[in-house]
Amino acid sequence: MSESVVREHSPAPAAVQSTHVGADWLLVVAILAVLGTAVRAIYFTPVDALQGAAQKIFYVHAPSAFVALYMAFALVALMSALFLWLKDLRFDRVAESSAEVGVIFTTVVLTTGPIWGKAAWGTWWTWDARLTATLFLWFIYVGYLVLRGAIDDRMMRARYSAVLGLLGALLIPFIHLSVYLFRTLHPMPIVFKPSAPSLSPEMLHTFLLALGSFALLFIALLRIRYRLAVARDELAAQEER
């Protein structure tokens, strides 16, 4: 019955159609940028003296971490606050999209981290403040998405997610602080210093390029995901009628 309703109410809106007509141009640009940076990182950037080739994972790990926390999650928190204030579902759609893309970047951080750790220093996991905070960021993202999946009512889903988004933003600093305190009071072998290593100018350039291309990738994916969110809501609205 829902099929006849969809057919009846005009073809899919233009926003959806554009994702069917060829690939999204921004995504293509972003992927090219990432690939270009990868090439530069592998072939045209000096190898780190201490860690060897394994250090190059840094050019994936650190930008992903930046995007996951300071772009994706910050956006989720901001959109959550705006939604609770203004009650506009568009904010919720951005938050939802940002969370789904963010969890991907966070997963990348959590997989590249151990690989880097094992390759460079021989340990899979270290409980340093940053990595642990990222792990909890991952938990919050997953909780956010599970919560959304468990609520059918559109407005309730938006409100509850927004509450979780904001509380999650409050939690992250506490995680960071707790683990930092744990490490200072319980000295553990310091193997992980993701931001501290001094970078030569070429390394810094590559890092900044990587940061830029990952940020671009995030925005491209966010846009695509947002369009999907709009389409899904419109479909749901049509089915209700």
Report the 3 state secondary structure along 28-73. Answer: HHHHHHHHHHHHHHHHCCCCECCCEHHHHHHHHHHHHHHHHHHHHH
CB nearer to other proteins: pick between 95 and 179 = 179
Beta carbon of residue 47, minimum distance to other proteins (angstroms, whole number) = 38
Structure tokens at 82: 């705006």
CB nearer to other proteins: pick between 7 and 241 = 241
CB nearer to other proteins: pick between 166 and 228 = 166
- 13, HSE (Cβ side, Cα atoms, 13 Å): 11
- 28, HSE (Cβ side, Cα atoms, 13 Å): 5
Beta carbon of residue 93, minimum distance to other proteins (angstroms, whole number) = 14
Alpha-carbon span 98 to 92, nearest angstrom: 10
CA nearest to 97, candidates 221, 194, 200, 234: 221
- 180, HSE (Cβ side, Cα atoms, 13 Å): 8
Beta carbon of residue 129, minimum distance to other proteins (angstroms, whole number) = 12
CB nearer to other proteins: pick between 60 and 135 = 135
Beta carbon of residue 231, minimum distance to other proteins (angstroms, whole number) = 15
Beta carbon of residue 237, minimum distance to other proteins (angstroms, whole number) = 5
Left (φ > 0), alpha (ψ -120 to 50) or beta: where does 10 sit?
left
Which residues are near other proteins by CB under 8 A?
84, 136, 139-140, 142-143, 146-147, 150-152, 154-156, 159-160, 162-164, 166-168, 170-171, 174-175, 177-179, 181-182, 185, 236-238, 240-241
CB nearer to other proteins: pick between 49 and 185 = 185
CB nearer to other proteins: pick between 59 and 83 = 83
Beta carbon of residue 61, minimum distance to other proteins (angstroms, whole number) = 22
